[in-house]
A and B are shown apart, each in its own frame.
Chain A
Amino acid sequence: MTALEELMELSREPYNPLVKDWKEKGGKVIGFVCSYVPEEILHAAGLLPFRITPTGCTTTLEADAYFSRINCTFCRACLQMALEGKFGFLDGLVGINPCDHIRRLWDLWRLKAGLPFMKILSLPHRVHEGAVEWYKGEIQIFKGEVEKAFDTQINEDSLGKSIEIFNTSREWIRKLYDLRTKENPPLSGNEVTRIIVALLHIPREEGNKLLERLLNELENRKGISDYRARLMVAGGACDDPEFIEVIEKAGGLVVTDSLCFGSRYFFERVKTDDDLLRSLSMAYLNRPFCAGMAGGERNRLNFNLEMAQRFSVNGIVFQKIRWCDLWGGEAFYLGEKLKELGIPYLSLEREYWLSGQEQMKTRVQAFLEMIGK
């Protein structure tokens, strides 16, 4: 099997063979929902950090007994699968508060399903020097909690090594994205989404080996030329490759993104030449901002513009899950600014699970026609 085939396979089911193997060997798996959770701490403790994606969930009947219809379907789907026991392979959950929905997911999961290890971090919602110190403190407390719960020690050496492993992932992903700047990129957006989802669900060492192999394989892979326009996808959490596929089936090739399951997650390297906990805090907070960071409009706009230019995109497709206020605000702001700058922009609202594909495809096709592609 090629590395690409392996990664595609691993992306299909969260509880994939590598996770099963890890568990069978006595390893512990700790879930987390948001990219602001410092995975390196978990890794340094010998745990498998696992970014939760409620893949395959299409109804939330039980979860909706607690959540309401005006709550995010990503969170409702996570709770649904937790209530069904589909995350039973997790040994713990690390919570955080990037938004109201995820904060309440934490509450409801904790109170109605539960897992043996459950700790939450208090994320700053404004990035400044004081926030870096605050979050460093949070990470320090969290480190102590992990050490105590799993009877382990996370020292400078082990943490430094974990950071290097995750930095390696970041470096490989950057190289992967560099290939997408070509006129004929070797990978579709659908494939890249699957690669990233797979990476977030397997031991990172294995992921890095697969990435290295993949980059070698891609040197000989024929580039994609059959597309009408080069597009960038921006917005809130989007781990669904089928959503990207709808865009691509309409003729748009997704060559880059500004997503927390994409560039915003991977692009910032953690320094290892200083106080490691502070370096983690600095890197995680100074990534291109989530919409949850107050005053981050210009930061996000500049990142979007930089990515759009670097990847020679013809237009930006913004997407968000219905009821998300933070990305709703961003949709409004970004739309106004891109209009002023004359950059073609399409805003799509969706549920976590794919629905209304034909309407969405029609809208993308209309967008491509509008931009003359």
Chain B
Amino acid sequence: MTTADQKSNILEIIAKAYVNWFNAAKPENKWTLEPAVKYFEEAVKAREMGKPVVWGSFVSQPEIFWAMDMFPLTMENFSFLLALLPGNMGHKYIDIAERHHMADHLCSYNKTMMGLAFSGDIPKPDIIVHPLQPCDSGRITYSNMAEILGVPAFAIDIPLLRTERGYSYVADEFERMVSFLEEHTGRKLTYEKLKEAMEWSNRAYAYYFKADELKKNVPCPLGEAFIPPFYMAGRVECAEYAERLYGIGQAKVEKGEGFLREEKIRLGWFSTGAYFDMGMQPWIRKEFGASIVHTMLGSYPGPIEDISTTRKIFEGLARQLLELPMARETGGLAEGWMEYAIRICREYKLDAVFLTLNMGCKNAWALAKLLKDEIADRVGIPTLILEMDALDSRVVSSESIRSAITNFFNTILA
């Protein structure tokens, strides 16, 4: 068992954790963990295999890195996984970051990754690549991290509005990014390799999208996806996982079955959750018969239509980048999130919405009231707004969160 006191290579710790989870999983569930087990085994060996390691954010796309035979690590993913490990290893790294005078009000995802960088418990990357979305905290953390570690970094600039001009600008940014990567790694991006990665990525996104569409059915046939595409898209395992997930969902729909035996409430979770308590979602399902039909981080855009040239791929990636989870909601102006939220409430036939807003999430907090009112006025369903931290259990305890959720459900079910 790994604990907060161990000083070790975090890559190895996470890789071992996944193996342990895999070994402990029921035979019928092991397939959900296989892609991550393989990914982290490779992550541990990436340097040894001569692959440049690139740190990036979860609101980005890894296909170009796979195509250039690099190894992408999504730093927020580490922040998330550390919070799951016994003793909440994330706390150690948050404290390290704050001891180094990192602002305490930055997002705990970013504090964890910065603390990890300071601690030396993870090998330094060769390059950092980060899109300048979805928030200030991420923007400044990656920028600071690159400077502190002395690592070359490329920031993909993101325009405010979703316009053709904006998409073209981001596509240009991808071209600049590739030049940067080629200069700093000596590797070349070829269309053939990129196309191959995109074909697998498109397959994954197509099945994720279709699986998500299945959740519009009553009862909802699926729970959460375990393997998000933000670090896996472009790998065969991700596409196979998404296809299998869709198949399970489709089979349930054909039989008229739901993920839950009895679905009493259809819930939309329009924010990050309390990830330090992974028992919370199963508890919500069991205690209240609530299907978590839609989550912010569990719903993905569709595949890219045109992969006929490198430029077309960049243009497609540009559109997709701005529609990735969290960027889709909190990027741009208020209407973007409001209209998206209303559409989801209607199409997924929701009964209630959670906005369990992370303490670091300034721009989401500024819209919470508007969103709640808009949902109430136009859809007629209630929203629970709850202050908490997604990773740091010391900010608001699991018990407090569960208590607030209980009160909310008791009120709406009464």
Residue of A nearest to B175 (CB): A130
Q: With A66-B370, A296-B143, A329-B103 known to touch, is A125 a contact of B365 (CB < 8 Å)?
A: no
**Which partner residue on chain A sits nearest B163 by CB separation?**
A122
> Which residues from chain B contact A294 at a C-beta distance below 8 Å?
130, 132, 139, 142-143, 155, 157
Complex interface bits, B144-178 against A, C-beta within 8 A gives 1, otherwise 0: 10111000010101111100011001001100100
In the complex, are the beta carbons of B362 and A328 less than 8 A apart?
Answer: no
Bound CA span A323–B140, Å:
13
A68-98 to B contact mask, C-beta < 8 Å, 1/0: 1011100000000000000000000000010
Q: Does any Cβ of B come within 8 Å of A310's Cβ?
A: no
A298 within 8 A of B: yes
Contact A295:B143 (CB < 8 A) given known A70-B105, A126-B155, A325-B103: yes
Q: Contacting chain B: which of A105-113, A183-191, A256-264, A361-369?
A: A105-113
Q: Is the CB of A329 within 8 A of B153?
A: no
Tell me which residues across on chain B come within 8 A of A296, comparing CB atoms: 143
Contact of A66 with B157 in the complex, beta carbons under 8 Å: no
Given A100-B135, A125-B157, A323-B105, verify A68-B144 contact (CB < 8 Å): no
| Cβ contact of A331, chosen from B101, B146, B359, cutoff 8 A | B101
Residue pair B366, A108 in contact (C-beta under 8 Å): yes
Given contacts A123-B160, A134-B169, A295-B153, contact A71 B366 (CB under 8 A): yes
**In the bound complex, how far is the Cα of B153 from the Cα of A134, in angstroms?**
21
Known: A107-B333, A326-B139. A100 touches B362 (CB 8 A): yes
* CB <8 Å contact, A68 and B147: no
Report if A101 contacts B (CB, 8 A): yes
Q: Point out the residue from A67, A111, A130, A335 that lies within 8 Å of B334, measured CB to CB.
A: A111
- Is residue B227 within 8 Å, beta carbon to beta carbon, of the partner chain? no
**CB of A297 within 8 Å of the partner chain:** yes
Nearest A residue to B161, CB-CB:
A122
What's the tally of chain A residues with a CB closer than 8 Å to chain B?
Answer: 49
Check B173 against A130 for contact (C-beta < 8 Å). Answer: yes
Closest to A339 in B: B101
**CB contact between A332 and one of B101, B136, B146, B172 (< 8 Å): that residue:** B101
Q: Which B residues lie within 8 Å of A331 (CB)?
A: 101, 103
Write out the residue numbers on chain A whose beta carbons fall within 8 Å of the beta carbon of B363. Answer: 100-101, 103-104
Least CB separation from B363: chain A residue? A100
Q: B375 → chain A, closest Cβ, in Å?
A: 15
* Residue ID in chain B nearest A121 by CB atoms: B160
A122 to B334, CA, bound (A): 15
Partner of B160, one of A97, A128, A291, A330: A97
A125 touches B155 (CB 8 A): yes
- Min Cβ gap B243→A in Å is 37
Residues of chain A within 8 A (CB-CB) of B147 are: 297-298, 333
Q: Which residues on the A side are within 8 Å of B132 (C-beta)?
A: 125-126, 294
- B-chain residues with CB within 8 Å of residue A154 when the two chains form the complex: none
Residues of A within 8 A of B157 (CB): 124-126, 130-131, 134, 294
Residues 45-74 of A contacting B (Cβ, < 8 Å): 65-68, 70-72
CB 8 Å contact bits of B332-353 with A (1 = contact, 0 = none): 0110000000000000000000
Q: Is B100 an interface residue (CB 8 A)?
A: yes
Q: Residue-by-residue, is A114-126 near B (CB-CB < 8 Å gives 1, otherwise 0)?
A: 0000001011111
Q: Tell me the bound Cα distance from A123 to B139 in angstroms.
A: 14
Q: Return the CB mask of A314-342 against B: 1 if under 8 Å, else 0.
A: 00000000111110111111011000000
> Do A99 and B136 contact each other (CB < 8 Å), given the known contacts A111-B370, A125-B157, A128-B176?
yes
Indicate if A344 sits at the interface (CB-CB under 8 A).
no
A338 CB, min distance to chain B CBs, angstroms: 12
- With an 8 A cutoff between CB atoms, is A241 at the interface? no
Asked if A70 and B370 make an inter-chain contact with CB atoms under 8 angstroms apart, the answer reads no
Task: Decide if B105 touches A125 in the complex (CB within 8 Å).
Answer: no
Residue of A125, A292, A325 contacting most chain B CB atoms (<10 Å)? A325
Given A99-B136, A108-B370, A134-B159, A71:B365 Cβ within 8 A:
yes
Answer yes or no: A137 CB below 8 A from chain B CBs: yes
Give the chain A neighbours of B396 by CB distance below 8 A: none
A130 touches B155 (CB 8 A): no
* Nearest residue, chain B, Cβ from A71: B366
Cβ–Cβ contact B366 & A100, under 8 A: yes
Q: Are B176 and A130 in contact (CB under 8 A)?
A: yes
A126 CB, min distance to chain B CBs, angstroms: 5
Q: CB-CB < 8 A to A66: which residues of B?
A: 366, 369-370
CB-defined contacts of B362 to chain A, threshold 8 Å: 68, 70-72, 100-101, 104, 323, 325
Residues of A within 8 A of B159 (CB): 122, 124, 134
Minimal beta-carbon separation of B97 from chain A (angstroms): 9
Nearest-neighbor residue (CB-CB) of B155 within chain A = A294
Q: Chain B contacts of A326 at CB under 8 A?
A: 136, 139-140
Please give, as numbers and ranges, the residues of chain B lying within 8 Å of A124 by CB-CB distance.
157, 159
Q: Is the CB of B106 within 8 A of A325?
A: yes
Do the beta carbons of B366 and A67 come within 8 Å of each other? Answer: yes
Question: Are B101 and A101 interface neighbours, CB within 8 A?
Answer: no
Question: Can you name 28 A-B pairs with beta carbons within 8 Å?
Answer: A67-B365, A70-B362, A101-B136, A101-B362, A101-B366, A104-B363, A104-B367, A107-B333, A108-B334, A108-B370, A120-B333, A124-B157, A125-B155, A125-B158, A292-B136, A294-B132, A294-B139, A294-B142, A294-B157, A295-B146, A323-B362, A325-B103, A325-B135, A331-B101, A332-B100, A332-B103, A335-B101, A336-B101
Of all A-B residue pairs in the complex, the 3 with the closest CB atoms, nearest first, are: A328-B103, A329-B140, A104-B366
